[in-house]
């Protein structure tokens, strides 16, 4: 919504298009001066679907005006290309995730891309497929007039991997919704350590569980709350009989999550890879120091000892080394300047991740794009 509102300052008309909408037929509505077009996915064939989307959208386009389309996913390439080539659109893409990190580290990918054809020829077939996939996406990215990244890490890696220029890229962090008000923190009977988000292999919840169990051997004034749905099996298997003060809440509504935030002492996010985890921003917005892995936006957000701590995920003897997490949890739990950490966490988000700053940056991007020859 912040993006759409920001658009209204640059464009005479703003339209939000919902692809693969859960509708039985095409729906066109208007709300607060913004037109919404919902296009259901009635065809299983991707190419046919995007051809149909182009046909529908062409009825709403005035080619005598300057038209800009912003996409959130690279998999809509057929539609974005058609809009650019046939209707003269300028195309913007928001890059939300370096997808290759699901199957290869960036350093290894760069090595693979630099291989000669003779070197590549002797590689396993799976390595050839990886390179082909990345090269194909690189060719697609060249067609976009502007690519927005949500963290510095992705900005740098898109330059390294695809050779994109700084003029094609823009770094604009995701904003966090302003709070209606903050309650003063009053420590509950136990200090709550929280982890919020979908539970999957990328989140490393089992590492947090083991670190908590180790820490609880030294202190009994702590509780671990794991909030969110997903696959619990791996995390639960690490608990064994050490289940005391470990709570899996499942999915919570906004009011329940707000209560968790209000009573949390420290937040933890240990994902292998994540661009801009909103939960880390929400935690700090509520004054919760965050312990986070060195990925995505977290190195830009977290300042060691001031609003949390960064931690390197270390793999040792077929398992995680939990000691760095234990040490950083203890550092926050025992911090003599804990209340100052809470205030600095709030200031960190309010100053750098506000809706107002987001809209200012988006406005500058659109103005630059519209004024480009």
- Averages of pLDDT over runs of 10 residues in the chain (373 residues) are 57 87 92 91 81 91 89 87 93 86 82 92 91 89 93 93 93 90 77 92 86 92 91 67 79 92 95 87 96 94 96 71 93 95 94 90 90 68
Total number of domains in the chain: 2
- List Cβ neighbours of 173 (8 Å cut-off, separation of 6 or more): 150, 151, 276, 297, 300, 352, 353, 358
d(CA 260, CA 250): 12
316 pairs with which residues across the strands?
Answer: 319
Do 168 and 215 belong to one domain? Answer: no
Do 160 and 274 belong to one domain? Answer: no
- What is the structure's pLDDT at 353? 93
Do 26 and 150 belong to one domain? Answer: yes
372: left (phi over 0), alpha (psi -120 to 50) or beta: beta
d(CA 309, CA 328): 6
d(CA 362, CA 356): 10
- What is the structure's pLDDT at 256? 93
Do 222 and 86 belong to one domain? Answer: no
- What is the structure's pLDDT at 167? 92
Do 21 and 31 belong to one domain? Answer: yes
- What is the structure's pLDDT at 285? 95
**Quick check: is 102 in a domain?**
yes
**Domain harbouring 98, CATH code:** 3.40.50.2000
- For 75, the domain range is 2-175+354-371
Do 141 and 102 belong to one domain? Answer: yes
**Quick check: is 317 in a domain?**
yes
3-state secondary structure of 196: strand
**Quick check: is 180 in a domain?**
no
- What is the structure's pLDDT at 277? 83
**Quick check: is 181 in a domain?**
no
- What is the structure's pLDDT at 48? 87
Do 75 and 7 belong to one domain? Answer: yes
293 pairs with which residues across the strands?
Answer: 311
d(CA 171, CA 251): 32
Angle, alpha carbons 299-302-307 (nearest 5°): 170
Do 262 and 305 belong to one domain? Answer: yes
Tokens 């919570």 belong to residue: 252
Do 170 and 36 belong to one domain? Answer: yes
**Quick check: is 130 in a domain?**
yes
Do 234 and 144 belong to one domain? Answer: no
């Amino acid at each position: 919504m912040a993006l759409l509102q920001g658009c209204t300052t640059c464009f005479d008309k703003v339209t939000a298009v919902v692809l693969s909408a859960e509708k039985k037929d095409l729906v066109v509505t208007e709300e607060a001066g913004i037109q919404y077009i919902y296009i259901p996915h009635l065809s299983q064939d991707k190419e046919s679907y995007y051809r149909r989307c182009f046909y529908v959208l062409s009825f709403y386009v005035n080619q005598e005006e300057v038209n800009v389309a912003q996409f959130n996913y690279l998999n809509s390439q057929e539609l974005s290309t058609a809009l650019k080539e046939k209707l003269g659109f300028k195309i913007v893409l928001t890059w939300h995730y370096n997808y290759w990190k699901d199957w290869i580290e960036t350093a290894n990918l760069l090595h693979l891309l630099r291989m000669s054809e003779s070197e590549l020829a002797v590689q396993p077939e799976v390595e050839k497929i990886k390179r082909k996939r990345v090269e194909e996406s690189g060719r697609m990215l060249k067609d976009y007039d502007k690519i927005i990244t949500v963290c510095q890490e992705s900005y740098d890696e898109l330059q390294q991997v695809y050779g994109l220029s700084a003029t094609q890229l823009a770094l604009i962090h995701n904003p966090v919704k302003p709070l209606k008000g903050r309650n003063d923190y009053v420590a509950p009977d136990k200090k709550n350590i929280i982890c919020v988000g979908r539970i999957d292999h990328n989140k490393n919840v089992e590492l947090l569980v083991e670190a908590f169990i180790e820490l609880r051997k030294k202190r009994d004034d702590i509780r671990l709350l794991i909030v969110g749905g997903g696959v619990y099996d791996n995390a639960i298997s690490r608990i064994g009989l050490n289940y005391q003060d470990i709570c899996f809440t499942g999915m919570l509504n906004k009011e329940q999550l707000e209560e968790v935030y209000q009573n949390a002492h420290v937040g933890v996010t240990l994902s292998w890879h994540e661009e801009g985890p909103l939960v880390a921003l929400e935690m700090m917005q509520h004054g919760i120091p965050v312990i986070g892995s060195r990925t995505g936006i977290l190195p830009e957000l977290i300042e060691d000892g001031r609003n949390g701590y960064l931690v390197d995920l270390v793999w040792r003897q077929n398992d995680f080394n939990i000691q760095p997490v234990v040490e950083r949890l203890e550092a926050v739990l025992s911090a003599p300047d804990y209340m100052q950490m809470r205030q600095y966490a709030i200031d960190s988000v309010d100053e750098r991740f506000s809706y107002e700053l987001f809209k200012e940056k988006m406005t500058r991007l659109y103005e630059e794009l519209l004024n480009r020859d």
